[in-house]
């Protein structure tokens, strides 16, 4: 059961029409929400922001939310791990959560490895997860194809993700479109566990934003904007901490086409991606966006995108710089978050262990 926009998989996602109820709005009030981001390949990009973080912030008053920086997930490609860098990126991502508006007073925000419960629950879930389910995961297939040596952590990565979600009796997981398959797997694992050992887990569902559920690369609008590609190619992504000069270079050289089509439905993938970014950040309706750019060349669209991106990111970057000036305070906030998270996860793990007959 996934609350998705049926066209969310198309490049740039679908345009949000303000008259259509966003899937986000189908989430019941006070629903338990869990989501997280991986501290790999530097900090976050606009895809992470529009696909997930922006919605977390927008709904933080209506929901009972838990957000995590999932650092154990960053270990699945050990050759790429630089321990000191992993620790600092983990803190930097937490800082960006707060800089984007997530309030640690209204949400539980913590680092995955600060609790032992996630790894412990993962072992038990590994034992109920058929290998065939894991081999079918498209992210695993893509990652495994790209490398010679594949660690078992890469294959069982989605089981750790299932533990993250199930430990908090999560009902709703707000994510970008690329994570939907993992959330569906989580649900399947929970159903299988409940069938084998009795009712233990709440069944979660994914919720993706109506627009920008899949932000595409600026230099290659057929590939999703990704941190790993961004680490290799300037001009691929819009980094949340990029300077106006870097943003200008990336956005003004975004791939478009040789025409002047600026209607969402008829636009080429690169143009649709830019229209979607503009629409969401300017909080405009489809018709307003189409009207504004009708008959204009793509230079006008790119300039408008640049303007709205800089306008959005400038205050985020200022708050981030301030937060990063006091790492001890950040660590204290995360330590409090870990305590709150443990108080929620420990009883669930105790229930799981009792169900399978282990533990004191
Ligand atoms: P990660 O770290 O790759 O991405 C974090 C969030 O950003 C979304 N996202 C995008 N949305 C739109 N367009 C894009 N181009 C784009 N790129 C990334 C992702 O969908 C995600 O919501 N496995 C997860 C992390 C994770 C997790 C969890 C998520 C671990 N445990 C439990 C939810 C619940 C991941 O690698 O996300």
> What pLDDT was estimated at residue 24?
55
> What pLDDT was estimated at residue 6?
31
Regions of the chain with pLDDT less than 70: 1-25
What backbone torsions phi and psi does residue 91 show, to the nearest 5 degrees?
-65, -40
Which of 121, 178, 240 gets mutated to test ligand 1 (max ligand atoms within 8 A of its CB)?
178
Domain 227-323 homologous superfamily, CATH: Tyrosyl-Transfer RNA Synthetase (1.10.240.10)
Q: Provide the terminal-to-terminal Cα distance of the chain, rounded to the nearest Å.
A: 36
* Alpha helices (H) along 16-82: 46-48, 54-58
| 66 ligand 1 Cβ < 6 A | no
Look up the CATH number of domain 23-214+341-355.
3.40.50.620
State the closest ligand 1 atom to the C-alpha of 157, by its place in the atom list counted from 1: 23
**What's the CA-to-centroid distance between 48 and ligand 1, angstroms?**
7
Q: 51, 63, 100: which is closest to 207 by C-alpha?
A: 51
| 70 ligand 1 Cβ < 6 A | yes
> What pLDDT was estimated at residue 85?
96
Q: 139, 134, 164: which is closest to 152 by C-alpha?
A: 134
> What pLDDT was estimated at residue 25?
55
> What pLDDT was estimated at residue 335?
98
| 214 ligand 1 Cβ < 6 A | yes
Measure the CA–CA gap between 263 and 258, rounded to whole angstroms. 15
- The CATH 1.10.240.10 portion of the chain extends over 227-323
Q: 279, 257, 253: which is closest to 270 by C-alpha?
A: 257
CB 209, CB 55: distance < 8 Å? yes
pTM attached to this predicted model: 0.93
> What pLDDT was estimated at residue 41?
86
- For ligand 1, atom 1, the nearest C-alpha belongs to 37
Measure the CA–CA gap between 293 and 239, rounded to whole angstroms. 25
| 167 ligand 1 Cβ < 6 A | no
| 208 ligand 1 Cβ < 6 A | no
**What's the CA-to-centroid distance between 176 and ligand 1, angstroms?**
6
**What's the CA-to-centroid distance between 239 and ligand 1, angstroms?**
15
**What's the CA-to-centroid distance between 96 and ligand 1, angstroms?**
15
> What pLDDT was estimated at residue 112?
98
- The CATH 3.40.50.620 portion of the chain extends over 23-214+341-355
How far are the Cα atoms of 115, 173, 216, 251, 355 from residue 344, in angstroms, in the given order?
11, 17, 36, 43, 18
**What's the CA-to-centroid distance between 291 and ligand 1, angstroms?**
33
Which of 175, 208, 269, 272 gets mutated to test ligand 1 (max ligand atoms within 8 A of its CB)?
175
State the closest ligand 1 atom to the C-alpha of 160, by its place in the atom list counted from 1: 31
**pLDDT, tens digit (0-9, with 9 covering 90-100), for 337-350:** 999 999 999 999 99
> In what helix (H) or strand (E) does residue 67 lie, and over which residues does it extend?
strand 64-69
Left (φ > 0), alpha (ψ -120 to 50) or beta: where does 35 sit? Answer: beta
> What pLDDT was estimated at residue 9?
34
**What's the CA-to-centroid distance between 49 and ligand 1, angstroms?**
10
* Burial label, 122 (beta-carbon count in 10 A; 0-12, 13-18, 19+): buried
How far are the Cα atoms of 12, 230, 249, 309 from residue 243, in angstroms, in the given order?
23, 15, 10, 11
**What's the CA-to-centroid distance between 278 and ligand 1, angstroms?**
21
> What pLDDT was estimated at residue 349?
98
Range 274-311 burial, b when 16+ CB lie within 10 A, else e: bbbbbbbbbebebeebbebbeeeebeebbebbbebbbe
> What pLDDT was estimated at residue 1?
45
**What's the CA-to-centroid distance between 105 and ligand 1, angstroms?**
23
């Amino acid at each position: 059961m996934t609350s998705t926009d049926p066209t969310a998989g198309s490049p740039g996602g679908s345009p949000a029409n303000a008259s259509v109820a966003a899937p986000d709005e189908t989430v019941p009030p006070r629903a338990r929400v869990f989501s997280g981001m991986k501290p790999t390949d530097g900090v976050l990009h606009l895809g992470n922001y529009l696909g997930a973080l922006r919605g977390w912030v927008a709904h933080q008053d209506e929901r009972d939310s838990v957000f995590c920086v999932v650092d154990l997930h960053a270990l699945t490609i050990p050759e790429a791990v630089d321990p000191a860098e992993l620790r600092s990126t983990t803190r930097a991502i937490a800082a960006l959560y707060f800089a984007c508006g997530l309030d640690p007073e209204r949400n539980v925000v913590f680092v995955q490895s600060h609790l032992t419960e996630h790894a412990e629950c993962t072992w038990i879930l590994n034992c109920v997860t058929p290998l065939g389910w894991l081999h079918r995961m498209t992210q695993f297939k893509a990652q495994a194809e790209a490398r010679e040596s594949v660690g078992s952590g890469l294959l069982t990565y989605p089981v750790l993700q299932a533990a993250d979600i199930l430990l908090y009796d999560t009902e709703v997981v707000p994510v970008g479109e690329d994570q939907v398959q993992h959330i569906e797997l989580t649900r399947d694992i929970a159903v299988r566990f409940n069938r084998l050992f009795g009712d233990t887990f709440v069944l979660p569902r994914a919720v993706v934003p109506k627009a920008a559920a899949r932000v595409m690369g600026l230099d290659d609008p057929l590939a999703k904007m990704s941190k790993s590609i961004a680490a290799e190619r300037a001009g691929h992504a819009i980094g949340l901490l990029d300077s106006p000069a870097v943003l200008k270079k990336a956005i003004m050289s975004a791939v478009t086409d040789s025409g002047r089509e600026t209607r969402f439905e008829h636009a080429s993938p690169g143009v649709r991606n830019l229209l979607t970014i503009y629409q969401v950040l300017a909080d405009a309706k489809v018709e307003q966006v189409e009207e504004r750019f009708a008959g204009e060349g793509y230079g006008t669209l790119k300039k408008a995108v640049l303007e709205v991106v800089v306008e959005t990111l400038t205050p985020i970057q200022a708050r981030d710089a301030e937060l990063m000036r006091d790492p001890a305070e950040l660590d204290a906030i995360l330590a409090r978050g870990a305590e709150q998270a443990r108080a929620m996860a420990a009883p669930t793990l105790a229930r799981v262990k009792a169900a399978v007959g282990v533990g004191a």
